[in-house]
Chain A
Amino acid sequence: MFTPDRSKYPKHVNGRPEIDLSSGKYTKVWHGPQHPGITGNMALEITLCGDEVVESITHVGYLHRGFEKLMERRTFIQCFPIVCRIAVPEPAFNEYCFSAALEELSDIEIPEQAQWLRTFNLELMRLSSFLMWIGGMAGALGQGTIGQWCVTHRDYVADLFEEMTGGRIYHMYMLPGGVRAPLPPGFKERAFKVFDGIEKMLDAVDKVLYNNYVFKQRTQGLGIITRDMIERYGVVGPNARACGVKRDVRLDEPYVKYDELDFDYVTANASDAYARAVCRFEETLQSIDLCRQVLNKMPKDGPFHTKTPNVMNWKVAPGETYAKAECTRGEYGFYMVTDGSDKPRRVHARGPSMTHAICLMEQLAINTNVSDIAGLMVSIHTYPPEVER
């Protein structure tokens, strides 16, 4: 296992260094919660010795809205508009997992077309989120131009979402029983045009960012996640795949229509921030490919929503289940418990950031240079709202 060099610590008590700030040897810096180099509103409380991090503590809570508690007070359909807010850049996974769990507990089969539309929506969501991430990663290392390219093209994806779902950011599209609307006419052609544009842009990103000496120098060897840390820290998604571990919920436990699509695990071996960046870059391209596949394989039309009980009086028999999906950061899931009433008894949103942003980040930050913290943070790809929920 990866053990950081702790020789600089004077003393180590109960798993934590005993730092005497008055000794003048250490500096305490708050990185965030308002910091461009951090993903969302969270803060790292960093203790430095020189410019080297000796301790990092993650603070969340700036976005706590108590979603899980709110859902206990709302009827099932009323939960639907709020779940998307649990991970702002990736609302679709919340909608999907919530709907899938509810459908499973109330024995609802959704129609074929709805499954295709869900697959497309989820994959497009991954694409949009990856674009944002690539931009963020470049930005965190001082290459803001690429950030602008990516966000511009993400906006075109948001246009597609707007046409499809009626919303750019919070789509509120996958509701229990299926989806809310069919694809508008001519959507496929417009989508392909957007994908072509993104591929062209990604080609430029590959040249400018991934074959950039500075970028390579700063990310290679940064934040290495060793193989044994994966089990121990519960690492999932591209963070795990960048260590050569093949795990992807889309392939392990195919949901919606992923079993009918042609794709494979995207892996890398170096386990560092650069490998994670490459992994995500490849997955972005894979997402575009999958989106094209879905649009080509999808039937022209068909029912996109199945009749649910009247949503105003929807009661679900007692039960519990766990529905999961592969978001851009790994296993994302909703654990839902019902008790026969019209409101869920307990809903837990399991986001990968809960482990990645806290225990993994705190461990990886040690012994890195303070200027790399932003890059390291982004390379783990965390969204704080899913930590605090």
Chain B
Amino acid sequence: MMLEKLKQTFTVTEVKEQKKNLTFFTVPKEQMEMMLITLRDHHDYKHLSFIVGIDMIEDGVFKLTYMLYNYETNHSFGIHCNIDREKAEMDSFHHLWEQVGTYQRELREMLGINFEGSPRLEENLSLDEGWDGPPPMRRDFDTKEYSNNTYFQREGRVNYDPREYMREQLYPTFPKTESDKLLNGGGKK
């Protein structure tokens, strides 16, 4: 019902009713602010639960999710908005809710999204001491590689793979299956 009404004004796509009291949909970046204000002021979606950024690296976008909650109907809207990953910029909504500023600081810190005009945007929440890597929540940041390059492993640990170990112990001469070669399309080809 309400969505139908919203659709008259906004470009609402990818509507998905996840459960009785939770609906997701997507709006374009430029309509986001009006959408939030409309829902907050006209439809009683007064509570902003959180803002999350998802790195959809395969689509080249960051998907932002704004979760709004209506205390009267106990219904939530998860509103998606896709922004370009290369030029990661989004409008700042710090004037709508006070906590938006905090979430936007986090998004800038963890995903490298710029929110023009958001207060104290450059202040990191967590990565204060000596962080020189890229925004760590981006999918292309490999935590394992970072930790291997930054920290050292405890010495004296050896791990054996049961398959390989049994081959060495029980049938070392049998022609070897090189499944990993097959996986890479090499091998017999």
Binding between chains A and B:
yes
Interface of A with B (CB < 8 Å)? 14-16, 59-61, 64, 66, 68-70, 72-73, 104, 231-234, 236, 247, 252-253, 319-322, 324, 331, 333, 335, 337, 345-346, 348, 350, 354-355, 358-360, 363, 387-388
Contact of A234 among B78, B97, B120 (CB under 8 A): B97
CB proximity to A under 8 Å, residues B85-99: 97-99
Known contacts A60-B126, A252-B71; is A354 also within 8 Å of B102 by CB? yes
Complex Cα distance, B127 from A60, in Å, reads 9
Contact of A64 among B65, B126, B141 (CB under 8 A): B126
- Report B115-154 CB contacts with A as 1/0, cut-off 8 Å: 0000110001111110000001101010110000000000
- Report B33-59 CB contacts with A as 1/0, cut-off 8 Å: 000000000000011111010110000
CB <8 Å contact, A320 and B78: yes
CB <8 Å contact, B54 and A61: no
CB <8 Å contact, B21 and A231: no
Report chain A residues within 8 Å CB of B67: 322, 335, 350
Known contacts A233-B98, A322-B76, A322-B78; is A61 also within 8 Å of B50 by CB? no
CB <8 Å contact, B50 and A350: yes
Q: How many residues of B contact A (CB 8 A)?
A: 39
CB <8 Å contact, B50 and A14: no
CB <8 Å contact, A232 and B98: yes
Complex Cα distance, B137 from A236, in Å, reads 27
Contact of A247 among B19, B71, B97, B127 (CB under 8 A): B71
CB <8 Å contact, B97 and A233: yes
CB <8 Å contact, A359 and B102: yes
Query: Min CB distance, B82 to chain A, in Å?
Result: 14
CB <8 Å contact, A234 and B136: no
B18 at the interface (CB under 8 A from A): yes
Report chain A residues within 8 Å CB of B119: 14-16
28 inter-chain pairs at a CB distance below 8 angstroms, sorted by A residue, are A15-B119, A16-B119, A60-B125, A61-B126, A61-B128, A66-B143, A68-B137, A72-B139, A231-B97, A233-B98, A234-B47, A234-B48, A252-B71, A321-B22, A322-B49, A331-B49, A335-B50, A335-B65, A346-B52, A348-B50, A350-B50, A354-B50, A354-B99, A355-B102, A358-B99, A358-B102, A359-B102, A388-B125
Contact of A70 among B46, B124, B126, B143 (CB under 8 A): B143
Report chain B residues within 8 Å CB of A354: 50, 99, 102-103
